[in-house]
């Protein structure tokens, strides 16, 4: 049985459908209405999570619009687990001194780009421009600031510097780009594709080009540490449902994209047009490997641009339940490298 909690509430105000303590017969799961969260959307839409959890565990669902919002929900005990990007997870781990959360599985790799307006043809053309990101300190925000620093540009958190960075909602970014109020944005899918198709933009940097073999964590599954300690069986079942979902996606590519689009429509009341979902889907890959090496680099980038104090990520991963499921399925176990 699944229950949708009221959508759009700030995580700091969430009290959860069943309170903040968590229980063995309820799993409160957060996710976003983004293509980068397709395994979450599909696992819910097709009932893979519910089937794995069984009839004795009620699945309660909450959608978020930003990673920091989801982390605050974990802090408050309003959700037990959430799909989330890497940098909010790092920030949450640092702020809680390693106490609040654990990464238990991967989900999505790739699917983020810097899209710019016509007339910007090179890195040098970015000087004096205004670029958007989804939110201050989120994964794409850190990626943009770090990349700009590597190119010799100065930025700050007050929209100053050689390149002005304006953190804002992705929907606002699309409108601002179409209206000519910003020059580009570093955003995840499907927003990067929408900026290209609807905003007539072009991809200046595909983030996958900046990573070894093009692999980097975009979304992973994070669990509240206390819930994980108290109810590991529920999380193991959730991971089992995730792997079932990923296997179904791998063998049903077209249907999977359509299912993700249908899930997005259920959340937002609006589906993506066929060309958008097709192009966005081609920029993503889905994996239960959390790609731990990329998380370490995300952390280093956030520290380098002044958005994170130095932090040791030793202990942020608990892949024991993932590896238990993989072993039962006869699949190779995952290590943290």
Q: H or E segment at 150?
A: helix 139-150
Buried b (16+ CB within 10 A) or exposed e, 196-220: bbebebbbbbbbbeebeeebbbbbb
Say whether both 10 and 104 belong to one domain. Answer: yes
Domain that residue 310 falls in:
2-111+215-328
What is residue 161's DSSP assignment? B
Determine the Cα angle at 127 with ends 126 and 128, to 5°: 110
Question: Do β-strands 58-64 and 81-84 pair in parallel, antiparallel, or remain unpaired?
Answer: unpaired
From 213, 231, 253, give the residue that closes a domain: 213
Residues 82, 140 share a domain: no
Among 213, 232, 251, give the residue marking a domain's end: 213
Confidence (pLDDT) at 10: 39
* 184 is a domain residue: yes
Q: Are residues 58 and 163 located together in one domain of the fold?
A: no
Q: Phi and psi dihedrals of 254, rounded to 5? A: -65, -45
Give the whole-angstrom CA distance, residue 225 versus residue 103.
9
130 and 77 belong to one structural domain: no
- The C-alpha atoms of residue 130 and residue 183 are separated, in whole angstroms, by 5
273 belongs to a structural domain:
yes
At residue 313, the pLDDT reads 96
Q: Does 298 fall in a domain? A: yes
Residue 296 has a CB neighbour count (10 Å cut-off) of 15
- 270 inside domain: yes
Does 148 map to a domain? yes
Judged by DSSP in three states, 330 sits in coil
Give the predicted TM-score (pTM) of the model.
0.89
Distances (CA, A) of 101 to 33, 86, 174, 301, 336: 22, 12, 32, 21, 17
What burial class does residue 51 get, using C-beta atoms within 10 Å of its C-beta: 0-12 exposed, 13-18 middle, 19+ buried?
Answer: middle
Q: Choose among 128, 21, 33: nearest CA to 76.
A: 21
Please indicate, yes or no, whether residues 246 and 322 belong to a single structural domain of this protein. yes
Pair 228, 249 in one domain: yes
Q: Are 84 and 223 contacting, i.e. CB atoms less than 8 angstroms apart?
A: no
Please tell me whether residues 223 and 319 are part of one structural domain.
yes
Same domain, 220 and 324: yes
- pLDDT number for residue 8: 42
CATH number at residue 123: 3.40.190.10
What does the DSSP 8-state code read for residue 314? T
35 contact partners, CB below 8 Å, separation of at least 6: 111, 188, 189, 190, 260, 264, 272, 277, 280, 281, 284
Tell me what pLDDT residue 22 has.
Answer: 81
Instruction: Give the integer Cα–Cα distance in Å for 199 and 193.
Output: 9
Based on the fold, state whether residues 103 and 145 are members of the same structural domain: no
d(CA 302, CA 308): 5
- Whether residues 243 and 104 share a domain: the answer is yes
- Number of C-beta neighbours around residue 168 at 10 A: 16
For residue 39, give the 3-state DSSP assignment.
helix
Cα 32 vs. chain centroid, distance in angstroms?
Answer: 8
Q: Which of 180, 197, 213 lies at the terminal end of a domain, its last residue? A: 213
Inside any domain, residue 335: no
* Domain-located, residue 337: no
DSSP 96: T
Q: What are phi and psi of 152, to 5 degrees?
A: 95, 10
In a domain, 267, yes or no: yes
- My answer on whether 190 and 310 are in the same domain is no
pLDDT truncated to tens, each residue of the chain (337 aa)?
555 554 444 333 343 344 456 889 999 999 999 899 999 999 999 999 999 999 999 999 999 988 889 999 999 999 999 999 999 999 999 999 999 999 999 999 999 999 999 999 999 999 999 999 998 988 899 999 999 999 999 999 999 999 999 999 999 999 999 999 999 999 999 999 999 999 999 999 999 999 988 999 999 999 999 999 999 999 999 999 999 999 999 999 999 999 999 999 999 999 999 999 999 999 999 999 999 999 999 999 999 999 999 999 999 999 999 999 999 999 999 987 6
283 shares a domain with 205:
no
Among 232, 240, 200, 213, which Cα is nearest to 322's?
Answer: 240
Q: How many domains does the chain have?
A: 2
């Amino acid at each position: 049985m699944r229950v949708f909690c009221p959508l759009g509430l700030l995580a700091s105000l969430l009290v959860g459908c069943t309170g903040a303590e968590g229980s063995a017969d309820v799993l409160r799961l957060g996710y976003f209405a983004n293509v980068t969260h397709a395994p979450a959307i599909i696992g819910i839409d097709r009932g893979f999570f519910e089937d794995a959890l069984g009839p004795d565990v009620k699945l309660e669902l909450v959608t978020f619009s930003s990673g920091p919002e989801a982390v605050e929900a974990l802090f408050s005990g309003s959700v037990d687990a959430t799909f989330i990007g890497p940098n909010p997870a790092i920030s949450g781990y640092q702020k809680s001194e390693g106490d609040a959360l654990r990464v238990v599985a991967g989900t999505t790799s790739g699917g983020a780009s810097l899209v710019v307006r016509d007339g910007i043809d090179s890195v040098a053309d970015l000087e004096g421009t205004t670029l958007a990101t989804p939110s201050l300190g989120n994964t794409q925000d850190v990626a943009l600031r770090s990349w700009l620093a590597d190119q010799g540009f100065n930025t700050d958190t007050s929209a100053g510097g050689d390149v002005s960075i304006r953190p804002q909602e992705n929907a606002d970014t699309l409108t601002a780009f179409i209206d000519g109020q910003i020059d580009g944005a570093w955003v995840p899918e499907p927003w990067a594709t929408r900026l290209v198709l609807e905003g007539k933009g072009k991809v200046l940097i595909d983030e996958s080009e900046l990573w070894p073999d093009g692999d980097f964590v975009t979304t992973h599954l994070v669990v509240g540490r206390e819930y994980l300690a108290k109810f590991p069986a529920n999380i193991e079942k959730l991971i089992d449902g995730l792997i079932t979902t990923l296997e179904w996606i791998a063998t049903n590519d077209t249907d999977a994209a359509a299912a993700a689009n249908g899930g997005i429509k259920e959340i937002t009341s609006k589906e993506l047009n066929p060309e958008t979902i097709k192009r966005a889907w081609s920029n993503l890959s889905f994996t239960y490997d959390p790609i731990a090496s990329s998380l370490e680099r995300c952390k280093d980038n956030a520290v380098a641009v002044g958005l994170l104090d130095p932090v040791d990520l030793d202990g942020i991963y608990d892949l024991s339940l993932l590896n238990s499921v993989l072993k039962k399925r006869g699949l190779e176990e995952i290590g943290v490298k």
